[in-house]
Amino acid sequence: LEQEASAFLAAMPIIEKNKQNRILTPMMAVFPGREGVKTVWWDILKTGEPNSCIGGRSISEFEHTLVKWHRERVKLKIPAQIIFKKSDEERGKKLSKKPFTEARIMPIAETSPITINVYGNKVGLVIVSPTQGAGIIIENKEIADGFRAYFNLLWQTATKI
């Protein structure tokens, strides 16, 4: 027992050094399918933190869900800042009329199947293409802060609606 204790104590400086040099592993969850997309949206509401969104766009197959989601978000007084692509400017104008909502337009027309949501210490990726969908939630303060800084840079260069 004394030998084990001595070995443990001898290893402490190595453990402490590794502890200082460790990389914080984010908690990440992947939610497949259309329900996975909704999981990200409902997590934003559950968290109750302001949402910064890059790549807001119209998603026809989720239109009813998004109307309900925005209604609930406004009811909960959760602020949203959304950056839309030029091709979704009309949707941006419509949403910017809602309370607790700001929208801006980036001068790019191409669409991407990925929308990035930054809220609290989380990043929610919504992936919707004609053949598949998924939601990914990354819970890590440093990663969320990094995406938030990227959002803020884009927000400054985007055009006000």
d(Cα 132, Cα 29) in Å, to the nearest integer? 17
Residue 34, φ and ψ in degrees, nearest 5: -65, -35
Least confident range of 11-15, 68-72, 134-138, 144-148: 11-15
* Segment among 18-22, 31-35, 81-85 with least mean pLDDT: 18-22
Looking at residues 36-46, what average pLDDT do you find? 96
Strands 122-128 and 114-119: antiparallel
Average pLDDT of the chain to the nearest whole number = 86
pLDDT tens for 85-116 read: 888 889 899 999 999 999 999 987 667 889 99
Across 2-11, 47-56, 126-135, which has the greatest mean pLDDT?
47-56
Nearest to 80 by CA among 28, 155, 134, 153: 155
Report how far residue 20's alpha carbon sits from residue 40's, in angstroms, rounded to the nearest whole number. 33
Residue 16 CA neighbour count, 13 Å, CB half: 6
Report the first-to-last Cα separation within the chain, whole angstroms.
71
The confidence score (pLDDT) of residue 79 equals 98
pLDDT of residue 7: 55
Instruction: Give Dmax (Cα) for the chain.
Output: 73
Interval 42-61: pLDDT, tens = 999 999 999 999 988 767 77
Query: In this predicted structure, what is the pLDDT of residue 61?
Result: 75
Q: Is 101 helix (H, G, I), strand (E, B) or coil?
A: strand
